Amino acid sequence: MINIEADEAYRKQVKTNYEFSTWAGHTKEGTADVRLTDVRIGQEQIKRWKLEEAEELPAVRQRRERRYIYVAPESGGRRRLLLTTLECNSVLDAHESLIDVVMTYMAPRLPRCESKGLEVGDICFGSHGDANLSVIFARFNILAETKNAGTEPVSVDEFAREVDSIILSYYGRTPG
């Protein structure tokens, strides 16, 4: 039997842990009603990383999910990053989805990216340790998660900045 009540209580606890109420629904640029569509992270847009595979995953609650696998060519495949993007229905939906994702992490809480010198997205959480080996951030209605997946882990800061700037470039193209 699935303990729905426990799951709900846990979700509330996660929101508290991540101080959800202090950032939910807020954007750094534009307004909270910006909705980007068909955002794609391409081959030539990320420096020093080669796109090995891009896949449209089964939709999550009607939200379009894409996964990209990048490798650092000079590493012989040892440096490997996964990028997952989720196109949510609104800014707030992206922030709720961020909670949905971090509640599947075994780590009880993650540090804010700003505390580790990384400024990306409207809200961003990094990882524990000296370097950010994974980052999850929301920019407008787009949720982006970057994780190391290779045997030679690297900081994902620069990669995350480039992804964020690509997402921001879609905002620049939005009419009106």
Partner 1 sequence: MSNQCRSGFLHKLFCFFLKILRILHVVSNAFYRKQCSCELKLVAISFNHNSSAFSGDAMNVRRNFANAISVPEWTIGKTLATDSPAAYTIKETQGKKITIKVKFTVLPKTAKAQIKADGGGVLGPIEPQTVAFLSGVSVPEFVSFELKHQSIGADGIKVEDITWDWKYRCCGGSEWEPLQTTHHRIYIILEQPTLPWKQQPFSDTQNPWTEALDYACTWAAGKHNRDDAASAITQAVNATLGLVYDNAAGASHYTSGGLALFELTQFLNYLKNGTGLGNIVNCTDCATITTTFSNLVGCDLHASKMGYSFDLTPFRGIGAAGFGCPGFGCGFSFHEVAWKGAHGNADPLFDACLRVDGDSNPWTAPHSEQFPVNITFSTNPGAPLPLAVPFNAQSYKERLCTNDAGGIGSCNPVGPWPSSSNGRRPVK
CA torsion sign for 82, 83, 88, 93 is positive
In the list 128, 165, 169, 174, the residue contacting partner 1 (rule: CB under 8 A) is 128
Q: Does 67 bind partner 1 (CB under 8 A)?
A: yes
Pair of tokens at residue 160: 């995350």
Q: Does 151 bind partner 1 (CB under 8 A)?
A: yes
* Upper half-sphere CA count for residue 63 (Cβ side, 13 Å): 22
Q: Does 129 bind partner 1 (CB under 8 A)?
A: yes
**Cα–Cα distance for residue pair 96/143, rounded to 1 Å:** 10
Q: Does 1 bind partner 1 (CB under 8 A)?
A: yes
**Min CB(40)–partner 1 separation in Å:** 18
CA torsion sign for 143, 149, 152, 153 is positive
**Min CB(108)–partner 1 separation in Å:** 4
**Cα–Cα distance for residue pair 118/96, rounded to 1 Å:** 22
In the list 27, 70, 80, 141, the residue contacting partner 1 (rule: CB under 8 A) is 80
Residue type at 62 in one-letter notation: Q
In the list 32, 82, 92, 99, the residue contacting partner 1 (rule: CB under 8 A) is 82
Q: Does 75 bind partner 1 (CB under 8 A)?
A: no
Spell out the alpha helix ranges (H) of the chain.
Answer: 4-17, 20-23, 91-102, 157-173
Q: Does 85 bind partner 1 (CB under 8 A)?
A: no
Q: Residues in the site for partner 1, rule: CB under 8 A?
A: 1-4, 6-7, 9-10, 13-14, 52, 57-61, 65, 67, 69, 77, 80, 82, 100, 103-108, 110, 127-129, 132-134, 145, 147-151, 153
